[in-house]
Amino acid sequence: MGVISSNKIINTDSINCQGELKVTLALTAAPDIISNPTDIVLVLDRSGSMSGEPLEQLKLGSNTFIDIIEEATDGTKDGIIGNGSRMGIVSFATTAVQNTQLITSVADLKSAVNGLNANGQTNHADAFTKAIEMFDPSSQNAKVIVMFTDGKTTVGDDPAPVAELAKSMGIVIYCIGLIGADGIDVSVLNEWASDPDSTHVAVTPTAADLEELFANLAENILKPGATNIKINEMVNPDFKIINVLTPNFGTADQINDTTIDWKIDKLGVSNTESAILEFFIKHIAQGGGEKAVNELVTYEDTEGNVVTFPDPKVQVNCCKTDFEEPLPDPIDFSIGACVSELTYDLDNIVLEGLGRTIRFNTTIKNVCPNKRVALGVYLYELNDDDEEFHRGTKIFTVPAHTCEGCQDVHFNNITFVLPEDLSLNNCARMCCARNLRVKTIAHYID
């Protein structure tokens, strides 16, 4: 079967500026269908929400899938699925129907698909049940269910136990989801599908993409697994790779801050196998907005499998969370045209006492949006007996931020002048070490 699934997913669709996320690359390969006959059941959603273009695109995609499987089994388009493999059609709405049994006639399979009409609710449990009933437990053929749906379960039993039963019987389940009018719950597709989810679940946002999605699932079936795999992953330069985990197949080497080389000697040559690589990236750019994670991903292997990876995007939220104690008010003045010299009186600057300047930076954790914070900073000097002598207090109102979600707020350059005439030591000015202690307290105002 060659490479039958590839995916790239991220663990969140939104991060903060300088935030981190996990990226997962996944690849599944399987042996040649000619030497490893396979029974495949297409399970197709024909509920009312599929009416119109979605159903027509589903038919095109299913027919494309059938054509690719036919050619894969014997290398010719002769209208027959050969070398012991078979295919069947189950469709479902309020209830499920076995539109065919496991057969080899391409014409009969396409006739069943093209005759579907959309109406009714969505009963996934009955769909899985009818699909399971089509397989012969005594057959040595590999067993595969390809479930397509555009919505959530609205009638019938919980599908999860039925899907688990299928997997316990050695049936491999792929789930294809269309984000239709009723929405799609990707988490339940992940639950129903065989592991890993990243290579057995695919979701498409529009009906127009369905034919390509079905074709991508089937087009590599002609090839027997994959050998000498080389994947070069390059992330968007707005991100930096900070950690690469050891993949379950092959080796992954980080070449630089944005590039990983992943090499696998062989995958899916004797049985179906899934390879997974996980790595972590950090946003390092100044600006936010929706950003593609990929800069480029390339794939090659000895068999010439055609593999493409999705291009996930993440929303980067950058907003102001850095504040500081303001400097003294500036004095503005101007010098007139053709004036070569100016004397300006800056008024008096009074020295409160000889002292050292001390500045503090602090981070207030998990401040929720649109809430001001009161920040108090207390400075003490310590004598040899650890007694505290007050040297200054500052109270600030930290402005509210408008970021999405609670954020860490940074407040910088909190400035104290520590007069030397208050020193607890008897030595030359500023030539003695002084032991200090600072205390902070913060609380919401709003």
pLDDT tens per residue across span 147-180: 999 878 999 999 999 999 999 999 989 898 888 6
Residue 40 lies in a domain: yes
Tell me whether residue 118 is in a domain.
yes
Q: Is residue 46 in some structural domain?
A: yes
Total of domains in the chain: 2
User: Band of the pLDDT at 349, cuts 50, 70, 90?
Assistant: low
Residues 6+ away with beta carbon under 8 Å from 225: 1, 2, 29, 30, 31, 32, 266, 267, 268, 269, 270, 273, 303
- Indicate whether 296 and 369 sit together in one domain: no
Q: Is residue 332 part of a domain?
A: no
CATH number at 211 reads 3.40.50.410
Shared domain check, 241 and 165: yes
Per-residue pLDDT of 17-74, as tens digits, reads 889 999 999 998 877 666 678 899 999 999 998 989 889 989 999 998 898 888 878 7
Q: Quick one: 254 and 385 in the same domain?
A: no
Residue-range definition of the domain harbouring residue 438: 322-327+353-444
Residue 106 lies in a domain: yes
Q: Using 50, 70 and 90 to split pLDDT, how confident is the model at 104?
A: very high
The DSSP bridge partners found for residue 444 are: 373
CA angle 177, 181, 183 (to 5 degrees): 50
Determine contact, residues 184/153, Cβ cutoff 8 Å.
no
The answer to whether residues 59 and 193 belong to one domain is yes
The answer to the question of residue 10 being in a domain is yes
Predicted pLDDT at 333: 78
Q: To which H or E segment does residue 394 belong?
A: strand 388-398
Same domain, 101 and 45: yes
- The two beta strands, 38-45 and 142-149, are parallel
Same domain, 152 and 55: yes
Residue 337: inside a domain: no
Q: Does residue 381 share a domain with residue 271?
A: no
Domain boundary among 289, 317, 345: 317
- Local confidence band at 222 (pLDDT 50, 70, 90 cut-offs): very low
pLDDT of 220 reads 43
Residue 338 lies in a domain: no
Looking at the fold, whether 49 and 172 belong to one and the same domain comes out as yes
Domain end, chosen from 317, 338, 364, is at 317
> pTM surpassing 0.75?
no
How many CB atoms are closer than 10 A to CB 416? 18
